[in-house]
A and B are shown apart, each in its own frame.
Chain A
Amino acid sequence: MKANVSEATVKAHIGKVFNIAYRFCGNYSDAQDLTQEVFVKLIVACKKNNYNIEGPIDSLLYKMIRNRYIDFIRKSPKIRVVSLDSPVWDTIPLSETITDGAGQPENLLEKKENGKNIQDALNKLKPQYRMVLVLSDIENISCGQISKIMDCSINKVWIDLHRARKILRKLLEANL
């Protein structure tokens, strides 16, 4: 990555973009594909048009990940393939869980289970609700910025957020 988008810029944002992608998809390999696609598109477009990225690109990346996710929903097959590297809970890849199941502290396990429950509940939400919820509550992006990312009014963001939280609350209560 020699030109236009520096490696440092990519490294600075890739973690956050991957996190959003993972929360959107609920799947490790899909999140990796989405993240790669976002950065590849950005770098290729910049190289092709000789743009230089200066200043904050957070909003641009959020918008791109949202658009790629919508494309992904449209194209996604009904059957999902789960990679062995995808985490069953949150941060631990499945391969590590299989080989090294012993020695995990109980409270950590509980935390991971909670994380899994929340992600499962998130996966059951409508994509529209899931997106606003992830952007607002997980990534702490302001509603004004979300309205720009989602191409809608701030009132619509508030309404979607409110409904999404209520549904999520119901789903989590049912799981407990």
Chain B
Amino acid sequence: MNCKKIQKYLAGCLANELDEAIRNEVNIHLQGCPACNEDYQSLLKVKSMLSSLPGVKLPDNIMENIEQEVERRMSEKKTSYIRFAIPSAALALAAVLAVFFLKIPHQKYRNNYITDICLASETIVCGCWDKIGVKYPGHEVLLSKEKTARDKGYASIKDKHLNINSSAISPEQFVVFTKFNRGGVKAVLYSDDVKVCRKVVESKNKYKYIFKNPASYGPGQRDLVITVTFQS
């Protein structure tokens, strides 16, 4: 063992915590090397000086101070809940009211289509919209609300016929739309957008709306077909 390596073990040797084999090696080196031995002795002196330092006198009032501080903090904890409860409840109520009154209209998504998603969605809604996108109340029909497999959602809408009273809404004004919420991606696809939907006139009163399934989604996915019959 050389002098450099001994330096590494001096602290352990002073603490008397070295393995016996290493300790023996260190001892042999210290006996043969005056420089390291002198170093060891001076460090030992530092250690003994520190260990001979007297204890410090404890402040008289420390126990009372601790007791008072504990009492103060315990009472503070109790009041803090009440202090935050009322503002929190008010904030929660405000958030609920805001959601209730400030519904985000579907129009928001109209110019922001995301076509690269599966058409068999969790929620499929058919509704009546005019050219500028104002929804006619009472004409929205919820067809399916499947929350598990997408194929289920697809199957439940497949070949489904909608009967719409044409005295309330004409076939030209009628727009069918589908909502998606898959993996955090939200979108609404509208039948008047030729990029995502093909409208087939089967007869005078019967229309077929075919939402294209994106090819990138993979094989096996069929297009979403909604057939609407307008009855007078």
Contact = CB atoms under 8 A, between A and B. Distances in A.
Interface of A: 1, 7, 10-11, 14-15, 18-19, 22-23, 28, 31-32, 35-36, 39-40, 43-44, 47-48, 85, 87, 90-93, 111, 114-115, 118-119, 133-134, 136-138, 140, 142-144, 154, 157-159, 161-162, 165-166, 168-169, 172
B15 A93 contact: no
Nearest to A48: B77
B51 A137 contact: yes
Interface in B35-92: 42-43, 45-47, 49-51, 53-59, 62-63, 65-67, 69-70, 73-74, 77
**Chain A interface mostly:** helix
B17 interface: yes
Contact of A169 (B17, B43, B51): B43
Contact of B11 (A23, A48, A144, A159): A159
A162 B10 contact: yes
Contacts, number: 115
A138 B50 contact: yes
Nearest to B73: A44
Given A32-B65, A36-B62, A92-B57, 15 more contacts: A19-B55, A23-B53, A28-B59, A31-B56, A36-B69, A43-B70, A85-B59, A90-B54, A118-B49, A136-B15, A158-B9, A158-B12, A158-B15, A162-B43, A168-B50
25 contacts: A10-B63, A15-B58, A18-B56, A19-B55, A32-B59, A36-B66, A39-B66, A40-B66, A40-B69, A40-B73, A43-B70, A48-B74, A90-B54, A91-B57, A115-B54, A118-B49, A137-B50, A138-B53, A144-B17, A154-B17, A157-B11, A158-B9, A162-B8, A162-B43, A172-B46
Contacts of A133: 50
B15 A142 contact: yes
Nearest to B16: A142
A85 to B, nearest CB: 7
A144 to B, nearest CB: 7
B13 to A, nearest CB: 9
Contacts of B12: 143, 158
A47 B66 CA distance: 14
B62 A14 contact: yes
Interface string B149-183: 00000000000000000000000000000000000
Q: Which 9 A-B pairs have the closest CB atoms?
A: A137-B50, A158-B11, A161-B11, A162-B11, A22-B56, A40-B69, A91-B57, A165-B43, A165-B46
Contacts of B43: 162, 165-166, 169
Given A91-B54, A115-B54, A162-B11, A47 B74 contact: yes
Interface residues of B, number: 34
Contacts of A11: 63
A65 B67 CA distance: 18
Nearest to B12: A158
A71 to B, nearest CB: 16
Given A14-B62, A158-B11, A158-B12, A19 B56 contact: yes
Contacts of A144: 17
A133 B53 CA distance: 13
Contacts of A22: 56
Nearest to B7: A162
Contacts of B49: 114, 118, 172
Interface in B1-46: 7-12, 14-15, 17, 42-43, 45-46
Contacts of B74: 44, 47-48
